[in-house]
Structure 1
Amino acid sequence: MLNRRLLISTFAVAFAGLSALPAVAQTAIKFTLDWKYEGPAAGFLLALDKGYFKDEGLDVTIDSGNGSVDAIPRVATGAYQMGFGDINSVIKFLDEDPAQPVKAVMMVYEKPVFAVVGRKSLGVTEDPKSLEGKKLGAPPPDGAFAQWPAFVEAAGIDTATIAIESIGFPVREPMLASGDVDAVFGFAFSVILNLKANGVPDEDIATILFADNGLNLYGNAVLVNEDFAAENPEAVKGFLRALIKGFSDAVADPAAGVEAVLARNEILNSDIELERLEMANSMNIKTPYVIENGFGDVDMARLAASIDTLKISMGLTGAVAADDVFDAQYLPPAAERMLP
C-alpha cells in the first residue's frame, strides 16, 4: 500500500511539473497588406481566421497598407517581417540599393492588375492612345502608376499632351466620377467597383489593362525580410503553406472570404466585395498558368524578361537578376499548391 501511494504521489508531482512548463512560443510575424481590407485580401484573412497560421506555430498579425509600393520599405526595414507588394517595384527598389534585405517568395497576382481606368463619356476608351490629351489622376504610392513609364513605351503612347495630377487614394474614384480627371491609375478590380459605388454606370467605364497592352509583367507577391527568413526558414515555409490554404478557401468559397473581410471593415458592401474578390480570382490569381503549374511560383525566364523590360523603360541602372528578386525555396511542391 505504501509503495502504491508513493507511486501515485510521484506521478502527481511529475504531472504538476509538466503542466507548469510554459507553452511552446509561437514565431511572431507582422504582415502588411498592400491596401485596406477589401475582397482580394480574403485569402490572407481566412488563413488567419481558420487557424492555419497557428497550426504552423505562427503568431501572425495582419495590418492594412497604403499601397503596393509602400509595403516594400515596411518589409525591408524590418518593421514588418513579411508583406504583400508589387514585385516590379521590388525590382526598382533593389536596383537603387541591392543591399536591401527584401525578396519575393510567393507570387499571388500572376497576372498584374495594373490599369488606367477612365470614363467613355470623357473620351477614354480601351485603346491606350485615347489617353493622349487627357488629365490622369495618380496616387504616388500606387503600383500601377509606378509602371507608367514602362507602359508608355510598351503601348506607344505620346505623353506630350498628357497631364498627370497627383491625388490621394481616398479621392481617386470620386474625382473621376465628378469629371475632375479623365482617368486614374489603380488596380482594375478596385477602381472599377469603387467607381460603380460612386454612381458611374458600367457602360461608362473604360478599363485599359497594362497586361493586355504589351506589358508582360508579374503583379503583387508575398515579400519577406531576408534577415528574418535566414533566421526563421521554417516559419516562412509554414506561413506560405498556411497562405495557400487560405487562398484555396477564398477561391472555393468567395462568400466566406468576404465575411472575413467584412469582419474588419463593416462599412463595405458585401455584394461589391464579392464581385471584387471574384474578379481578382479569375483575372489575377487563378490564371491559366496557375491552373497548370500551381499557385505561388513564377517562370524565372519570364521574370528575367520583365526585368529587361524595366531596364529599358524605367531606367534601371544596376544588374538585378531574377534570382535577386524571387526565391522559391520556401514554397511547397507544386502538387500542394493547386487551387480548387
Structure 2
Amino acid sequence: MALTTGLAGGAYAADQMRVHVSPPLSIESAPYWLADELGYYKEEGIDYKSMPMATSVGVTATVAGEVEATQILGLSLRGAVQGIDMKIVMVFNRSPTFSFAARQAGTWAELKGKKIGATAITTSSTVMMRQKLQAAGVDPAKDVTFFYLGAPSSIYEALNAGTIDGGYVVVPNEFEAEKRGMKLLPYAEGVRILVGGVAVRGKFAAENPELLKRFLRATYRGLRTFHTDRAKTIPVMAKVMKIDVGLAEKVYDRWRGALSEDGHEDEAFMEAALNYEFGATVPQKAREAFDFSIVKSFKDK
C-alpha cells in the first residue's frame, strides 16, 4: 500500500540508514547531525540520509519500512502500546528543548478564544499544551482552536504571519520569537518526557543487528561530542541550523543540559517519563518497547 511520504518501499540497502527528523533541524536531533557532519557515520560504513518530515508522517514511514529510524519517541512509544512493532533504542533528551511562544498572551489563561499551533494531536508537546490550558482554567476542547500543522517550522511561519496566536516552537525559533516581541510562556520546565532519540522497527533491529550497532555507535559519538566538545559543536550547529555563531553559542549554553549524556536514562527517570505518558498504571507493552542494551555497551569504551 502506497504511503503519503512518496519514498521508496521497505527493502533495506545494506548500509543505508534513512532517518526521519523533524524540520527544522534543532538540538533534539544534534547527535544525528554531528555524527553526519563530523564523519562518524562514514567511519562506520553508514550511508546516512536525513529525511525531514512532519512528525506523524515520519513515524508512519518508519513503521512502513520507508525509513529505517525516527527521532520521535513519544508517538513511537504510543504506537508500541497499540501493538505496532517499534523499539526505542536510544534517548537524546533528559528534558524537552522546546518552548511555547504567544504573539500577545502573557499567560495560558489569556489564550482563551485563541488559535494555537501544534504538530499533531497525540504528540507529547500537544499533550503538555492541553495540561497547561486546563491548569489555567481554559478548556482545550472548547475554549481554543488547535491547528495541527505538522512541522515546527510551519508553526513558526504561522506565528509570524499572524495565522495563529500561539504555538510550539523549537530552537532557534524561540530566540527569534523573543526578538519579534512574542512572549515565551512557562511550558516544559522540569518535565521528564521522551522527546528525541532513535526508534526503529523491531523487525529491522532483529534482521540488521550489526548495522544498527554501527549506526548507534556513530550516533553515540555525536551525542558525546555535543557534551564534551563545545568548540567542535558550535560551528557545526551554526551550519546545520543556519544561524550565526553567536546565536549558536546561546542555543548551546541554554540547552546543553537538556540532552542525555549517554543515550539512556536510569530507572527513576524512565518511570517518571512513563508515568507522565500513561499515568500510574503503565502498560507492560510500554516497558517492553525499550532496549538500551547496545547503547549501554558503549559507555565504558
- With the length of structure 2 as denominator, give the TM-score of the two structures: 0.77
Does residue 336 in structure 1 map to residue 297 in structure 2? Answer: no
Does residue 230 in structure 1 map to residue 211 in structure 2? Answer: no
Does residue 173 in structure 1 map to residue 156 in structure 2? Answer: yes
1:91 and 1:42 map into 2 onto residues whose CA distance is 21
1:102 and 1:224 map into 2 onto residues whose CA distance is 6
Query: In 2, are the aligned partners of 1:118 and 1:182 still within 8 Å (CA)?
Result: yes
Does residue 91 in structure 1 map to residue 77 in structure 2? Answer: yes
Does residue 184 in structure 1 map to residue 163 in structure 2? Answer: no
Partner of 2:3: none
Q: Unaligned 5+ residue runs, structure 2?
A: 1-12
Deviation at 1:220, TM superposition (A): 1.4
Alignment equivalent of 1:326, drawn from 287, 290, 297: 290
1:252 and 1:302 map into 2 onto residues whose CA distance is 22
Determine what percentage of the aligned residue pairs are the same residue.
18
Partner of 1:163: 145
Partner of 1:295: 262
Alignment equivalent of 1:47, drawn from 31, 35, 46: 35
Aligned-residue CA RMSD in angstroms? 3.5
Query: In 1, are the aligned partners of 2:119 and 2:149 still within 8 Å (CA)?
Result: yes
1:94 and 1:321 map into 2 onto residues whose CA distance is 7
Query: In 2, are the aligned partners of 1:36 and 1:66 still within 8 Å (CA)?
Result: no
Q: Read off the aligned partner of 1:34 and give its amino acid letter.
A: S
Query: In 2, are the aligned partners of 1:303 and 1:322 still within 8 Å (CA)?
Result: no
Q: 1:309 to 1:88 in 2, by over 3 A?
A: same
Partner of 2:6: none
Query: In 2, are the aligned partners of 1:67 and 1:143 still within 8 Å (CA)?
Result: no
Q: 1:166 to 1:44 in 2, by over 3 A?
A: closer
Partner of 1:22: none
Q: Read off the aligned partner of 1:275 and give its amino acid letter.
A: K
Q: Read off the aligned partner of 2:185 and give its amino acid letter.
A: T
Query: In 1, are the aligned partners of 2:262 and 2:299 still within 8 Å (CA)?
Result: no
1:177 and 1:141 map into 2 onto residues whose CA distance is 22
Query: In 2, are the aligned partners of 1:43 and 1:257 still within 8 Å (CA)?
Result: no
Aligned ranges 1:184-333 → 2 under 5 Å: 184-187=167-170, 189-196=171-178, 199-201=179-181, 204-212=182-190, 215-254=191-230, 256-260=232-236, 268-282=243-257, 284-285=258-259, 290=260, 294-311=261-278, 319-333=283-297
SS in 2 for 1:295: coil
SS in 2 for 1:186: strand
Partner of 2:22: 34
SS in 2 for 1:112: coil
1:156 and 1:324 map into 2 onto residues whose CA distance is 35
Query: In 2, are the aligned partners of 1:137 and 1:165 still within 8 Å (CA)?
Result: yes
1:233 and 1:153 map into 2 onto residues whose CA distance is 44
Q: 1:319 to 1:166 in 2, by over 3 A?
A: closer
Q: Read off the aligned partner of 2:96 and give its amino acid letter.
A: P
SS in 1 for 2:90: strand
Q: Read off the aligned partner of 1:164 and give its amino acid letter.
A: F
1:307 and 1:37 map into 2 onto residues whose CA distance is 26
1:114 and 1:69 map into 2 onto residues whose CA distance is 18
Partner of 1:131: 111
Deviation at 1:192, TM superposition (A): 0.5
Q: 1:323 to 1:246 in 2, by over 3 A?
A: same
SS in 2 for 1:321: helix
Query: In 2, are the aligned partners of 1:106 and 1:221 still within 8 Å (CA)?
Result: yes
1:72 and 1:29 map into 2 onto residues whose CA distance is 15
Q: 1:156 to 1:309 in 2, by over 3 A?
A: farther
Query: In 2, are the aligned partners of 1:48 and 1:60 still within 8 Å (CA)?
Result: no
SS in 2 for 1:89: helix
Deviation at 1:171, TM superposition (A): 4.6
